Amino acid sequence: MSEDLLNSFQEAYSNLELFPLMERNEMERFRVEYGDDLIADLNQLVEDSPNRDGKIVFTGHRGCGKSTLLAEFSRQIQDKYFVVLFSIADKIEMSAVNHINILFAIAVNLMTEAEARKVDIPQSTKEALYKWFATRTRTEELNLQAEASIGFDLLKLISSKLKADASVRDEIKQEFERKLSDLVARINEIAALIQAATKQNVLVIIDDLDKLDLGRVNEIYRDNIKALCQPNFQIIYTIPIAVLRETFISTIIATETNDQVVAMPVLKIFDKGKNRFPNAQPRREATKILGEVLQKRIPSELIAPETAEKIVIYSGGVLRELIRISKECCRICLRTIRRNPSAKVIIDDKILLQAINKIRNDFSIRLGKTDIDILQSVYEQFMPNDPKQAEFLDLLHGLYVLEYRTDETWYDVHPIIIESLRRQGAINVK
């Protein structure tokens, strides 16, 4: 076995695991300059908020790079604001997320960050807050002493209970369902203490809310957006792009946030309709950005240039799909090297075809007749017959359909799915 070749592909595979980019060292190694206009949009809304309590909704397709961009944005403004960035997926079981435990998670993370930065909060006040947290998460002192020996401090223990203990989450929900103002008052108290001590305004950024099931997202934002807007400091919430296609919810969100909605578009590989023609050329700007993402992760000697460009096109402009296809190619190469140690292995069109077939099958097995009909109309019209149809929104949420924005909003079928539709006779491909 060529150990050097195996090690090279293992390193490339490891590089592809680093998505999204959250840590500074990851950013320095792998980040590509992209989305500066979006960072400017977010910065303007934060900086120019009249009362320093504005709520911003950040949306976009799953995997389009929102998490990396939010991490970069938080780093750029951390000297001016007390920034608390966290993923809801790290704090609460995703199937159990509701507006109450989102707010409770804000309180816990504000206090955790204050402790980490050694914010000067009077000891008596701090102890009262800890007692409040401990009571609501059933962290009794005797239990705390026993569990602390494992290496948890109080806030980490409370965080672990919030994520793993369904009974604790249920009790928190029952307590604050009828007296949400008490929870909001406690959150505001913590934020005020931080602001007084640091002389910085608080900004909380909650990532990965866009990864929730659409039904749960609808419940959170349709029924409880007012509650999420009650804390008197600035918060950035993430939501799936499919939610904004539902008129009632999008109107509520726009109203409660004063139209502070920022959308991160998918990189447009082709201008509208151009990919329907043979020998269509992709847009240079998009291929340059996504090509650079690959170059930073996969050494040039491991991938054929023409194959790298095809991976970019198959991604549809979605960063996560670019990474997904590339990882699958690396997996195939690693298996090939182990089976045939003397083989000269490179990611070429043959390897890519195997990867695309695997991903296409994963996509296709979940499609029903209604889904096929919707995808057919999107392919033919660049728009569904009914943009509010639940099945269309599910396809949009699941990346079967991709949304693009120019001077208009239009849709297209994920490039990997097009071959499935052709084979089923649903579309004619030139």
In a domain, 425, yes or no: no
Side chain identity at residue 272, one-letter code? K
CATH at residue 111: 3.40.50
- Whether 397 and 284 map to the same domain: the answer is no
Together in a domain, 386 and 337: no
- Residue 421: closest CA among 352, 353, 371, 383: 371
> What is the Cα–Cα distance from 40 to 414, expressed in whole angstroms?
29
Q: Which residue has the tokens 């949400």?
A: 180
**Is 67 found in the same domain as 119?**
yes
Residue 428 domain-assigned?
Answer: no
Q: Would 163 be classed as within a structural domain?
A: yes
Listed residues 214, 249, 264: the one ending a domain: 264
**Domain with 300 in it: what CATH number?**
1.10.8
Check residue 134 and give its pLDDT: 81
The residue from 264, 282, 314 where one domain ends is 264
In a domain, 290, yes or no: yes
Same domain, 2 and 73: no
Integer angstrom CA distances of residue 210 from 72, 152, 240? 18, 30, 4
DSSP code string of 33-48: S--HHHHHHHHHHHHT
The sign of the dihedral angle between the CA atoms of 124, 126, 129, 134 is negative
Tell me whether residue 136 is in a domain. Answer: yes
- Global pTM value: 0.90
The answer on 347 and 241 residing in a single domain is: no
Residue 15 belongs to some domain of the structure: yes
In a domain, 379, yes or no: yes
30 inside domain: no
Spans in the chain with pLDDT lower than 70? 1, 139-152, 430
Supply the range of the domain harboring residue 86.
35-264
Residues 135 and 45 in one domain: yes
Element containing residue 106 per DSSP (H, E):
helix 99-116
Kindly give, in sequence order, each residue whose CB lies less than 8 Å from that of residue 280, ignoring residues fewer than 6 positions away: 270, 274
The last residue of one of the domains, among 233, 264, 295, is 264
Q: Are residues 51 and 108 in the same domain?
A: yes
Are 280 and 327 contained in the same domain? yes
DSSP annotation of 415: H
Q: Which pLDDT value is given to residue 27?
A: 77
> Are 110 and 248 within one domain?
yes
Amino acid making up residue 125? T
pLDDT of residue 25: 81
Is residue 87 within 8 A of residue 207, CB to CB? The reply is: yes
- Which residue is associated with the tokens 């959308």? 263
How many domains does the chain divide into?
Answer: 3
Tell me, yes or no, whether 65 and 138 share the same domain.
Answer: yes
Angle (nearest 5°) at CA 421 between 419 and 422: 65
DSSP secondary structure of 329-383: HHHHHHHHHHH-TTS---B-HHHHHHHHHHHHHHHHTT--HHHHHHHHHHHHHSS
12 and 41 co-located in one domain: no
Q: Which helix (H) or strand (E) holds 121?
A: none
Over residues 43-99, the pLDDT tens digits come to: 999 999 998 999 999 999 988 899 999 999 999 999 999 999 999 999 999 889 999
Query: Are 89 and 4 found together in one domain?
Result: no
- The predicted structure's pLDDT at residue 1: 52
